[in-house]
Structure 1
Amino acid sequence: MSVVDHNAIELPRISEAEVGDYLALLKPRVMSLVIFTALVGLVIAPGHIHPILAFTSILCIAVGAGASGALNMAYEGDIDALMSRTANRPIPRGRITREEATAFGLILAFFSVMTLGILVNWLAGGLLAFTIFFYVVIYTMLLKRWTAQNIVIGGAAGALPPVVAWAAATGSLSMEPVLLFLIIFFWTPPHFWALALFRSDDYARAGIPMLPVVAGPDATRLQILLYTVVLVAIAVAPWPLGYFDAIYGITSLVLGAGMMALAINVYRRREGTEALRATRRLFAFSILYLFALFATLLLEVVVRGVMALIG
């Protein structure tokens, strides 16, 4: 008669996850930027969208971004544990398993895309599905661990939310959302490479081929400067082309001058604490730059509305 060794029986793991752990999977800081840029795309779009559909659109885009974050963390749990910046995320801490995060992300992705497609329109739903696919499969799985150009190509996913929102509002696409896409797309490399310069040890430890790790800090500083030149030119261009008004144009010139000055400073300062301080300043200002640029577009809508009422 055999004796059952109860100590050898593997009991189902009881999840320790709390609501805060699942919220952390959504990458709330990234989600806040997605919501804001999508809101701008929605508000500046021509025509009228019902407030309930507008709210639904922004909610679906936000949930889709959260799904992307959860699936990204599920796939990168191993490298997150090696980096001080990400070691406190729920999966490295053992609060949530990679399987739980994957299931959570897939459910959010499915319902966000289907809800947007059914309730708003399928162009927006299809674009949201492509955005999630691009971030999770193209960037996270195929690019991030294999090429130093990961953040350049992968930046397309972060640049798509205003395009999705425009499609939700109009059912079509035009040059304005393409311009918003290009601004975010060319903003992404100098923003993240500035971060990578003062976090290069983290990326090297995790084996991620970020540009400072592969090409060195000096080559990265040059690339930051070159991309900033392109960014500033693209950000100013909608004004003389007649797509955005003077308030935006003047603001983009002032903010662009600030970005250029800080990028030049990063290029020139290459040693010691001064170099570190320069990269941190550029990283911090780049967030302000994008926020202020898009906020100005909202301001233009308000000004046009007020002028219409007065007229």
Structure 2
Amino acid sequence: MQRLTWPGTNWQESVTQTIADYYQLTKPRLILLFLITTAAAMWVAAKGQVDGVLVLATLTGGALAAGSANTINCLYDRDIDYVMERTRHRPLPSGRIQPWQALVFAIALAIISFTLLATVANLLSACLAMSGIAAYFFVYTAWLKRSSTQNIVIGGAAGAIPPLVGWAAVTGDLSLAAWAMFAIVFVWTPPHFWPLAMMIQEDYAKVGVPMMPVVDGDDSTAKQMMFYTVLLVPTSLLLVYPLHASGGVYGAIALVLGGMFIQKVWQLNQSPADKTMARSVFKFSILYMMLLCAGMGLDSLPLTQNLVAQGSQVLQMLVLGA
């Protein structure tokens, strides 16, 4: 007996696959971290009292801008993506999406992002989001990625723009605290990305991309990671002193997380060629940024500030009473 099929089944599967392909072009896992840093900046800027509509619009606009930048990255890198086993089956190198379609998609995302941010937030946040797209493509993807071992260091500035977008959306300007958050993400990027590069350096070597582990080796890369990880601790504390944008709760969280990050990278330095250890550092770097941003948000809440103030008063009374 012939099996009956629903007339629209193949068409529905095709549409679903196409949607999934376009979604994959935006690299959604990368976008999540960008949104976390954006949200943290908004919470700190607004002292824990952010308008819900503004948050939704800013995060949506930021996600669209990041998706546009990632799509352009996929479009430009489709030649090397075809060679690397890890990326060969992406929508562009596999031929499921044509280059012109990806370009139109990226432009559409950028236009919607700019319009949304300029309308609901302000022009500064919209322009910053567009500058992030430009920096990611022109500085990192087209210029540095295939020409310098410092590609991820200098190019990391593009990934540090989302906190500026969040801060500008709330305040309409960029204070020193906003730039401190930019610096945190900027310094965090090398010890976050280089472990991944250590894990897949054979792929990068195959296509001639001069990532640090490929050119300078695992040992040198691990040592440079330690430099940036140690530098990250005082950088993360700038929000506490001298800027006073965050308080003791965030400061304590930053110190603990920074110590754990240094320990992880120190362990990698003992066995730089250990891919399992590199994977562990990479995963922890993601957790570090998520928890650090959560610490910023927690510290900014009025409830937290009130509890800290009350605790300080009780401590003073105990000290004076003694």
Using structure 1 for the length normalisation, give the TM-score: 0.88
1:183–1:235 Cα contact (<8 Å) kept: yes
* Cα pair distance change 1:115/1:266, threshold 3 Å: same
In structure 2, the partner of 1:302 is 301
User: 1:164-203: per-residue Cα shift (whole Å, max 9, x none)?
Assistant: 1110111111122111111110110011111111111010
1:233 Cα shift? 2.1
Q: CA deviation at 1:268?
A: 1.6
**Aligned counterpart, 1:56:** 57
Partner of 1:286: 285
Match of 2:224 in 1: 223
Q: CA deviation at 1:252?
A: 1.0
For residues 91 and 298 of structure 1, what CA distance do their matches in structure 2 show?
38
Structure 2 residue 45 is matched with structure 1 residue 45: yes
Query: Is the CA contact (8 Å cut-off) linking 1:15 and 1:95 kept in structure 2?
Result: no
Alignment of 1:235-274 (within 5 A): 235-241=236-242, 242-271=244-273
Distance change in 2, residues 1:79/1:51 (3 Å)? same
Say whether the 8 Å CA contact 2:43–2:297 is kept in structure 1: yes
Alpha-carbon distance, 1:305 to partner: 6.2
- Number of residue pairs matched? 294
Q: Name 1:104's counterpart in structure 2.
A: 105
Contact 2:44 2:245 in 1 (8 A): no
Instruction: Judge which range, 242-251 or 299-308, deviates more.
Output: 299-308
Q: Is the CA contact (8 Å cut-off) linking 1:26 and 1:65 kept in structure 2? A: yes
1:30 aligns with 2:35: no
Cα RMSD (Å): 2.1
Q: Which residue of 1 aligns with 2:85?
A: 84
Query: Structure 1 CA distance, aligned partners of 2:234 and 2:283?
Result: 20
Tell me which residue corresponds to 1:136. 137
> Take 1:306 and 1:265, find their aligned partners in 2: how far apart are those partners?
36
Shift of 1:239: 2.5
Deviation, 1:31, is 0.8
Read off the aligned partner of 2:32 and give its amino acid letter. Answer: S
The 2-side partners of 1:243 and 1:283 are apart by: 28
Equivalent pair of 2:298/2:304 in contact (CA under 8 Å): no
Shift of 1:15: 10
Give the conservation status (yes or no) of the 8 Å contact 1:37–1:294: yes
Within the alignment, does 1:149 sit opposite 2:138 as a pair?
no
TM-score by length of 2: 0.86
2: CA distance, partners of 1:104 / 1:56? 20
Matched to 1:276, the amino acid is: K
Over the matched positions of the two proteins, sequence identity in percent amounts to 37
Shift of 1:246: 1.1
Give CA-to-partner distance per residue, 1:115-156, whole Å, 9 cap, x none: 312332111111111111001121111111111111001111
Q: Which runs of 5+ in 1 are unaligned?
A: 1-13
Secondary structure, in 3 states, of the residue corresponding to 1:84?
coil
Q: CA deviation at 1:301?
A: 2.5
Task: Return the alpha-carbon distance in structure 1 between the equivalents of residues 291 and 15 of structure 2.
Answer: 41
